[in-house]
Structure 1
Amino acid sequence: MTGSTDTTHAAATPLDPATERRAGIETWLTDMDGVLVKEGRALPGAGELISTWRETGRRFLVLTNNSIYTPRDLAARLHSMGVDVREDEIWTSALATAHFLSAQKPGGTAYVVGEAGLTTALHEAGFIMTDRDPDYVVVGETRTYSFEAIATAIRLILGGARFISTNPDPTGPGPEGPLPATGAIAALITKATGGREPYVVGKPNPMMFRSAMTRIGAHSQTTGMIGDRMDTDVVAGIEAGLHTVLVLTGIADRAEVERYPFRPDEVLESVAELLG
């Protein structure tokens, strides 16, 4: 009787589906506050992750719903915290709004309640700023909301201007606590105009992600989104068909994840876990 040698081969440990999909990601979108930086400092792994993406040729954009600052301002802010992102690697709700409006009505006119980040984006998109019969009223973030400007916005919307908001965030952080933000002012205008709701371009509208992907030539099947909020980053990423990563360095914790009827593909302690 002929004997045989029993050779045992160790089986490779299979990757879980989320990690396997992440391995195929070619482009990344990432939120800024709560993901890369928080309270004036870089979060663990943020600078290294950006450097790794750049060294490996990964296309990426840093996203923010904040429409106050220009990409140049934000790049300088990130650099001061040790996260080296170029201005052309930043996509704001102001840029997304300008991209959307220029596609809707090239060379249009707008009355703007906002700051340099928004007005600069609209100017560069070919829009004219005016308070005389504008095509749009665009409300964005500012730390100096003017009663007169809000009253003008209300009057123009009632006169037929279309109402646009850069983002829905009702509050923003301030040194002594929350401050009223774009969503709160838009709600005031909605109430004063008898229910005229704005079209909101920023997160959680997946359009912001789609315009960002267009900017860098990305495809949803091979793009990942990293965020710290279930109600904006994750839900918009899911609706845009992206691989979603929630990090716990910002707003959300594991208990909050359980309160939603949808889940991100991955939940990580910080972006440092993406370096492994």
Structure 2
Amino acid sequence: MYERKPVQSWLTDMDGVLVHEGQPVPGAPEFINKLRSSGKPFLILTNNSIYTPRDLQARLTRMGFEVPEHALWTAALATAQFLADQRPGGTAYVIGEAGLTTALHAVGYVLTDFAPDYVVLGETRTYSFEAITKAVRLINDGARFICTNPDVTGPSVEGALPAAGSVAAMISKATGVEPYFVGKPNPMMMRSALNTINAHSESTAMIGDRMDTDVLCGLEAGLETILVLTGISTRTEAERYPYRPSRIVGSVADLMDEI
């Protein structure tokens, strides 16, 4: 049996692992504090492209986490990096919020609705029918279709919200064009995160609460995968998948001794 190297770097999902329904998961702030004091490289990952790392840092600070801005890696940052590698200095028509537009500006992209190289769809709380119609027409005219993440729903205090994957499906139905998804479970998200902290897959663990995104993504990128039971997936549901996490623990609090 393949013997994994000791964990030297950590990647962790945010919602369902560190935070649940707007509250810190018990033990999660202490887990992050211990990671920081250990000096081991780590990143907090999220498929949510609405917020900039600074916004997320402020949100986490209010909940008792001490997280440096550079320790946050979003699907918006991964998307911007992917586009900068693919077509440096390109143009894009963006449906999304500050997290996405800021990331694209930072890599030198021009945001325009005049013959853009890409239509880039991210999360937003105010999807406009007019903007979606424009995206459909631009894609029909030859723009390439990119979506930050495939999640079809997102959490809110009131219940599920339609997310980027649902809107992408509507645009795909209208155009016949499928988007390229950059965020989890695309291993691209993991690889870009690993590169950001100069980590190696064989000595990195991915902590997540979803079998279909976090665990799958970590597995395909060659990481140790740890499923926590503080979010979406239950132990029973985990058994139904054709792949397994390296292990299942109750919460990140159970990992304190490993840092």
Q: What is the correspondence of 1:206-221 to structure 2 with a 5 Å cutoff?
A: 206-221=187-202
- From 217, 224, 233, the equivalent of 2:205 is 224
Q: Give the number of the structure whose alpha-carbon radius of gyration is greater.
A: 1
CA distance in 2 between counterparts of 1:40 and 1:173 reads 10
CA distance in 1 between counterparts of 2:134 and 2:22 reads 35
CA distance in 1 between counterparts of 2:8 and 2:29 reads 19
CA distance in 1 between counterparts of 2:46 and 2:87 reads 24
Alignment of 1:171 onto 2:153? yes
- From 127, 133, 137, the equivalent of 2:115 is 133
Q: Deviations over 1:3-45 (max 9, x none)?
A: xxxxxxxxxxxxxx89x847x1111100000000111111122
Q: Deviations over 1:177-225 (max 9, x none)?
A: 22111000000000000x2000000000010000001011001011110
Match of 1:275, SS state, is: helix
Choose 29-38 or 42-51, whichever is displaced more: 42-51
Count of paired positions:
257
CA distance in 1 between counterparts of 2:62 and 2:117 reads 39
Alignment of 1:145 onto 2:127? yes
Equivalent pairs: percent with the same residue?
A: 66
How far the C-alpha of 1:173 sits from its partner, in A, is 2.1
- What does residue 184 of structure 2 align with? 203
Name stretches of at least 5 consecutive residues in structure 2 with no aligned partner: none
CA distance in 2 between counterparts of 1:181 and 1:53 reads 31
- What does residue 94 of structure 1 align with? 76
How far the C-alpha of 1:53 sits from its partner, in A, is 1.3
Alignment of 1:272 onto 2:253? yes
How far the C-alpha of 1:175 sits from its partner, in A, is 3.7
- TM-score scaled by structure 2? 0.97
Alignment of 1:241 onto 2:194? no
How far the C-alpha of 1:171 sits from its partner, in A, is 1.1
- From 54, 66, 85, the equivalent of 2:67 is 85
Q: Deviations over 1:216-250 (max 9, x none)?
A: 10010111100000000001100000000000000
- From 34, 38, 57, the equivalent of 1:56 is 38
- TM-score scaled by structure 1? 0.91
- What does residue 232 of structure 2 align with? 251
One-letter code of the match for 2:113? D
Q: Deviations over 1:142-165 (max 9, x none)?
A: 000000000000000000000000
What RMSD in Å do the two structures reach over aligned CA positions?
1.3
